[in-house]
Amino acid sequence: MSSEKTLAIVIRVVEFSETSCVVTLFTLDFGKIGALAKGARRPKSPFESALDLLAVCRIVFLHKSSDALDLLTEAKLERRFRLVTRDLSCLYAGYYVAELLRDLTDTGDPHPELFDVADQTLIALQGAHDLFCVVLRFEMTALRLLGHAPALRGCAACGESIELSGRVPFGQMAGGLLCPRCRPGQRQVVSLTADAVRVLQQFATGSLESWQEVAVDAKIRGELRGLMNQYLCNLLDHRPRMHQYLGLLGHAPE
């Protein structure tokens, strides 16, 4: 076994025994890992209370070459997830980020850029940002980095350029917009307004700052929230648990 050091986001904590727990961590250098943290539940833990859900910490672990859990030996807290308001939607959105990191990524598959985006998203959720935009930006960036981004510039079936006017068909199973020629016979097709597609295109770019300048009205928020929920359900083959708690994301901020 080799000893490894890296920065990690705690995305799941499960009690293992009276004194220990099993943690799932999304790390900067090693991607998602599962590790046993012996003694983590003791009053005087060697992990200094660093293993709270959504906390960012520096860890040392023994990497197992087999399918067995890695062994976490050290964890030093860098930043805890703390809300500046009493709005539970921000907390639920943080849990949603953790859920997507668990379900969209494979164990031992590093994605440093996704780690950075997740870290930035957790910081934004603790500040005075538009919750809808923060979550949509994370979803679209994660999908792009992991190779699951929907086709928003051309037809998902044939690649033909699509004119954005009126309403545009979006194939959930096809993976994006559909041209009139490819639309027949496609399953799970929804109709999007051209304005909703333009908003998605803005959030789908690689720019880290442009999303903060996008104004999205309430009608488009509801339209896009419904689209993204269903798109991720089809991709994951199950409904994310946190979807039921994110209903307020479809409303414009006051």
Report pLDDT for 248: 59
Look up residue 65 and give its two tokens: 């070459």
Mean pLDDT of the chain: 90
- What mean pLDDT do residues 188-216 have? 84
Report pLDDT for 141: 95
Q: What is the DSSP letter of 249?
A: G
**Which H or E run contains 201?**
helix 194-204
Contact 32/105 with Cβ under 8 angstroms?
yes
List the structure tokens of 20.
């220990």
Residue type, 151: A
pLDDT tens digits for 51-95? 999 999 999 999 887 778 999 999 999 999 988 767 788 899 999
CA distance 210 to 236: 28
Q: Give the neighbor-by-neighbor strand order of the sheet with 176-177.
A: 176-177, 167-171, 189-193
* pTM score, whole prediction: 0.92
Any residues with CB less than 8 A from the CB of 18 and at least 6 apart, and which? 41
| pLDDT value for 67 | 76
**pLDDT the model gives residue 224:** 94
148 close to 106: Cβ distance less than 8 angstroms: no
Comparing C-alpha atoms, which of 83, 103, 101 is closest to residue 92?
83
pLDDT interval class at 211 (50, 70, 90): low
Going by their DSSP bridges, the two strands 70-79 and 56-63 should be labelled as: antiparallel
Residue 42's pLDDT is what? 83
- Whole-number Cα distances in Å, 95 to 37, 100, 135: 21, 9, 11
pLDDT above 90 covers a percentage of the chain that reads 72
Residue type, 203: F
pLDDT range class, residue 207, cuts 50, 70, 90 = low
pLDDT tens-digit readout, 93-138: 999 999 999 999 999 999 999 999 999 999 999 886 788 999 999 9
> For residue 253, is pLDDT > 60?
no
pLDDT at 47: 84
Q: Which residues have C-beta within 8 Å of that of residue 62, sequence separation ≥ 6?
A: 1, 2, 3, 4, 70, 71, 73
How far is it, in rounded angstroms, from Cα 199 to Cα 237? 26
pLDDT-derived band at 14 (thresholds 50, 70, 90) equals: very high
